[in-house]
Structure 1
Amino acid sequence: MREPEPAEASLLPGWTRGHVLAHLARNADGLANLLDGARTGVPTPMYASMEARERDIEAGSKRSLAEHVADLRASAARFDAAVAAMPKAAWSVEVPHRLGAFPASGVVAKRIQEVEYHHVDLGLPDAYAPADWPPDFVRGQLELVSGKFAGHSDLPRLTVVDAVTGDAYETGARPAAGTPELTVHGPGPALLAWLTGRSDGLALDVAANSVLPTLPPLG
């Protein structure tokens, strides 16, 4: 079997697999920066600037596969060390983020989220696909993403039902009087892939004569 090349396209528009791998490594370092800031009491952003982040990803995208592997391992080790160095009290410290500050206790979950989603984004379905996401990750993310879309005026009222677990998640805007809700059924990973823009959702089940709505960007 031919070894995938970093220069080949990923599932993310405009990014090669090399861009995804470089982003994952720099994300590990950026989240370690947040933990270091929480531990030392000196608020530290993930990146010096968004421009610096983009430059680092672009430069790193051109590495060979062996160089990417070494970078990923080294950055993961630095992140693990930053986690291990955190005293208990520091986990409650708010850390800065472009989408809003949050407690340092949420950093590890953010790292897991990055790794799980972008592993799929490499576009190697025989190696890792939405069906490979851990059940606990899928359950937590369905709840999180549904919450992000809740009340969104560009969506109808939706009930998303995991056909395997039976768990249901309500999201979308409040329905107008007399407007029926739209219910979407499917395996949890397939639902999550659709909600996060990683699937067209054509394999999901909706009521007769209904179509899946166009989802707005998650942000």
Structure 2
Amino acid sequence: MRVVIAEDSVLLREGLARLLDAAGHDVVAAVGDPGALVAAVRAHTPDLSIVDVRMPPTHTDEGIRAAHRLREENPAARILVLSQIVSGRAAAGLLTTGEGGLGYLLKDRVGDVEEFLAAIETVAAGGEVIDPHVVRKLLSRRSRVDELTPRETDVLALMAEGKTNTAIAEALVVSEAAVAKHINRIFTKLDLGTDDSVHKRVQAVLTYLGR
């Protein structure tokens, strides 16, 4: 298997490269930033890319955004994302792209060599591997849809139809200010956080559609 690694920690990047090499895989590129990742994938067309969520320059979601870009360019690109944190939002957003061949694992899982190698083979073959901790967080958020009030559910349903706040206000015969308050409460109840790099409206709709 030909693999590209994108990880800004030199120690982890080199460790992954040696692990994969020992398992008989060919690491065609090992890079430390999202721009180099995209360039390496374009140049080598690997069987799998292993991508860290947080990379330079801001160390927030550069890896996820680079993964989205790769899937936009090639929906069949196989990508395994590694993260130090449980982020249901990041997983949900990525798993709705492309044609399978995706994985989201916590970095702790890399310590279990057999499990990690099995995961990369599954993803490279077109399957999906999601860390159980991430699955639990996704299921927990979906259950929160049932905690919304009837009016909040109506607002979210109209959001899922692609309606703007103005259109929602007209449909429900309320003010736009009231709609905005409902939406903010929806975001809070669905635990979408305060990260402005995440499109909370899209994530709320994905949660609603996947409940």
TM bucket, shorter chain: under 0.3
Query: Scaled by the length of structure 2, what TM-score is found?
Result: 0.25
Q: Of Structure 1 and Structure 2, which has the larger fraction of its residues in strand?
A: 2
